Chains A and B, each alone.
Chain A
Amino acid sequence: MNGLDASRISGTSLLAWRNLSHDRARFVVTLVGVLFAVLLMGVELGLLLGFARTTSGLVDHTDADLWITPAGTTNVDIAGRLDERRRFEALAVPGVAQVDPLMMQFAFWRKPDGGTESVSIVGFNLATGQGRPWNLVQGTIEDLQQDDAVIVDRLYAAKLGVTALGQTIEINNRRARVVGFTAGIRTFTQSPYVFTTHRNAQRFTFFRPDQTTYLLVRLRPGSDAAAVRDALQTRLGRVDVWFAADFARAAQRYWLITTGAGSALLLAALLGLVVGIVIVGQTLYATTVDRLPEYATLRAMGAPNRYLYRVILKQAAISAVFGFIGGMLLVGLVVLASAGSTVAVAMPPGLIGVLGLLTLCMCALGALVSIRRIMRIDPTSVFQ
């Protein structure tokens, strides 16, 4: 039965499967085409999502409801300075439960064996933990209570010349000591995040004790978030007040769209889609042309056009399913390989679903040329 129980599946499914499986070389070419397209689309879209997550990771991993940023801030990695005393003005606004400062500033990291790297110092309020590092795999948050303590991510340890806990380096010519490692906290700017206390961050970056970068606001339960945001904006004047989700999206938009990185990834994914459509279209069309006498016979027997279309579309669907499975296995390998690198390929279930739909659409579009040919078939040709 060629692997199928013909007494259980419909005639169109059987014809579709046999048409494909009886020409194995062509079927393999189709599958390789779909597989390649799925791999390209999967990796590019996974990179896009991975980058998007990276650009907004810091915002997404706080539980602040609102972010107060210096006016004109476009993303979380680059910002001016705020007067930390404005924190008290914010606390005076009804509905505000808590306000924490968060520092973010580029600095120079001098490696133990010489050489300098750019890093992003993230200084958070150790008392509340708002803005603290996540995925801590070595050391504790409390270790940061020491004056020179910092936590970095293992992904960037080699880049920063760090080989073990307790190692000392210099940040902007001030001594610092690595007390902990996180795993998988990436940065889009390639200046690794260096977590420390807000006070230490001020020292490392020469901020005055009354200066910070952001104020993170938590609301009282039941308060109207939009109303509080508007009230903060009015009260604080020349700052921007964002919902956390909006600020995360702004960061993603800034890095992925304004820098062109997102467009390049989307273009590559689109290229994969087009390549898939062309390959599936060509191979399905060749199969269809080979079998035109059979389609003409079906038409002569009284098969409606939609019966013929079903055969073609099922061929496309079979190619899509097998190609998708093979492609996703390879994408899975890429995702696994990227887990240990500074560039993450994200593959959540939602994206897998989107890729599945794209693959089906790609194959269906590839089948359109064949369907157009079938539409013009003349049943009297069976007598020639």
Chain B
Amino acid sequence: MSAVITLDRVGVTYGRGATALAALQDVSLAIHPGEMTLLLGPSGSGKTSLLQVMGCLLRPSRGRVQLFGEALAPDLGVEALAALRLAHIGFVFQHYNLFPTLKAWENVAIALDLKALPRAQQREQSLHLLERLGLADRAGHYPAELSGGQKQRVAIARALAGGPRILLADEPTAALDGKTGQGVAATLHELAHDAGVAVVVVSHDPRVEPFGDRVLHLEDGRLVDDRRPPRSTA
């Protein structure tokens, strides 16, 4: 299957001159649909920067990024990048980033509202997604009334609502207990395999590792390992 994201000798440097900090150096890789890729590495190794580059949130200082085989112009404007994210990419965050004033289904519906779906369809699809993630009975609750695992599943439902082909998750299990974290990791794995979504997960969490089809290891901004574990849950 052809790659959804391709990075070719990508580098990211923050700051200039003596204070310049290289967050990524010469990173080349390809992300494929239907698999869950884990991005591992110590703090400061460039995982989040790499996720941001893949998510069209950060323009690389050097190198080339391709999305579905199309090279992103280095001078692409912020609104154009936002349009790409809206069309193709879903995000799951460590601290869920749900809207506290909206109920679970309304949080999911926001992603559909961005795509200008009629309100009735927004509600219907949001409820369907929440049901699929086992949250049908929590749809009318505010985030403050949900457990950590439930919040993260609402966040996953929201990320999936726009029908993305790429789902990027930043430490999605870090704030969850062991069993809940594993459940979330399993959900992401299923999404990759059942829906054909390219799932990339940044994680420090060893509980997530068994669910990865592929593991990328970063150190000091360089990709030092790219392997497919022999024992995947797939």
Interface flags for B107-140 (1: CB within 8 Å of A; 0: not) read 0011101100001101100000000000000000
A383 and B87 contact, CB distance less than 8 A:
no
How far does the Cβ of B71 sit from chain A's closest Cβ, in whole Å?
20
Return the contact of B57 from the options A6, A21, A380 (Cβ within 8 A): A380
B106 touching A302 by the CB < 8 A rule?
no
* Pairwise interchain contact A302-B89, C-beta atoms closer than 8 A: yes
B101–A18 touching, CB < 8 Å: yes
Interface residue stretch chosen among B77-85, B182-190, B214-222? B77-85
Pick the residue among A8, A14, A301, A380 that contacts B106 (CB under 8 A): A14
B119 contact set on A, CB distance < 8 A = 7-10
A15 sits at the interface (CB 8 A): yes
Q: Which of B1-9, B28-36, B37-45, B91-99 touches A?
A: B91-99
Q: Which of B51, B57, B87, B110 contacts A298 (CB 8 A)?
A: B110
Is A15's CB under 8 angstroms from B84's CB? no
Docked CA distance A219–B52 (Å):
81
Question: How many Å lie between the Cα of A8 and that of B84 in the bound state?
Answer: 28
Q: Which of B91, B100, B113, B123 contacts A12 (CB 8 A)?
A: B113
Most chain B C-beta atoms within 10 Å of own C-beta, residue among A11, A19, A21, A299: A11
CA distance A22 to B58 in the complex (A): 33
A305 to B114, CA, bound (A): 11
Contact B113 A302 (CB under 8 A): no
In the complex, A21 Cα to B101 Cα: how many Å? 9
CB pair B52–A380 under 8 Å, yes or no, is yes
Which B residues touch A383, using CB under 8 A? 48, 51-52, 93, 170
Does A254 count as interface, using CB distance less than 8 angstroms? no
Question: How far does the alpha carbon of A6 sit from the alpha carbon of B123 in the complex, in Å?
Answer: 9
Are B86 and A302 in contact, with the CB atoms below 8 A?
yes
Q: Say yes or no: A297 contacts B97, CB within 8 Å.
A: yes
- Whether B165 is near chain A, meaning CB under 8 Å from some CB there, is no
One digit per residue, 1 when the CB lies within 8 angstroms of any chain B CB and 0 when it does not, for chain A 298-311 equals: 11111111010000
Does B151 reach chain A (CB closer than 8 Å)? no
Is A142 among interface residues, defined by CB-CB distance under 8 A? Answer: no
Contact between A301 and B48, CB atoms less than 8 A apart = no
The distance in angstroms between the C-alpha atoms of A310 and B120, with both chains bound, is 20
Interface presence of B103 (CB below 8 A): yes
Contact with B along A303-328 (1 / 0, CB 8 A): 11101000000000000000000000
B57 touches A11 (CB 8 A): no
* B22 within 8 A of partner (CB): no
Majority secondary structure of chain B interface residues (helix, strand, loop or mixed): helix
Complex Cα distance, B78 from A304, in Å, reads 9
Q: Is the CB of A304 within 8 A of B83?
A: yes
Q: Are B86 and A11 in contact (CB under 8 A)?
A: no
A294 at interface, CB cutoff 8 A: yes
Q: Are A6 and B103 in contact (CB under 8 A)?
A: yes
Give complex CA distance A264, B71 in Å. Answer: 63
| A301 contacts B102, C-beta separation under 8 Å | no
What is the CA–CA distance of A382 and B159 in the complex, to the nearest angstrom? 14
Contact: B48 with A304, CB < 8 Å? no
Q: Closest approach, in angstroms, between the C-beta of A220 and any C-beta of chain B? A: 64
Contact yes or no, A6 B97, CB < 8 A: no
Q: How far apart sit A264 and B176, CA to CA, in the bound complex (Å)?
A: 64
Complexed CA–CA distance, A7 and B99 (Å): 17
Q: Does A356 contact B (CB under 8 A)?
A: no
A161 CB within 8 Å of chain B: no
Tell me if A379 is interfacial: C-beta within 8 Å of chain B. Answer: yes
* Residue numbers in B under 8 Å from A6 (CB-CB): 103, 106
A302-B58 contact in complex given A6-B106, A12-B113, A15-B101, C-beta closer than 8 Å: no
Bound Cα distance from A129 to B183, whole angstroms? 93
Q: Is the CB of B111 within 8 A of A294?
A: no
Closest to A2 in B: B101
CA distance A15 to B106 in the complex (A): 9
Q: Nearest CB to that of A19 among chain B residues?
A: B101
**Which residues of A sit under 8 angstroms from B109, Cβ to Cβ?**
11
Residue of A10, A298, A302, A304 ringed by the most chain B CB atoms within 10 A: A302
* Cα A22 to Cα B103 with chains together (Å): 13
User: Contacts of A15 on B, CB cut-off 8 Å?
Assistant: 99, 101-102, 110
- Name the residue among B51, B84, B93, B162 with the largest chain A CB count within 10 angstroms: B93
Q: Are A7 and B101 in contact (CB under 8 A)?
A: no
What 5 A-B pairs come out closest when comparing CB atoms? A302-B86, A11-B113, A18-B101, A302-B85, A297-B97
5 sample A-B contacts, Cβ–Cβ < 8 Å, listed by A number = A7-B119, A11-B110, A301-B90, A302-B84, A302-B114
Other than the given A6-B103, A379-B57, 17 more pairs (CB < 8 A) read A6-B106, A10-B113, A11-B114, A12-B113, A15-B101, A18-B99, A297-B99, A298-B110, A298-B114, A300-B91, A301-B85, A302-B85, A302-B86, A302-B89, A302-B114, A380-B52, A382-B93
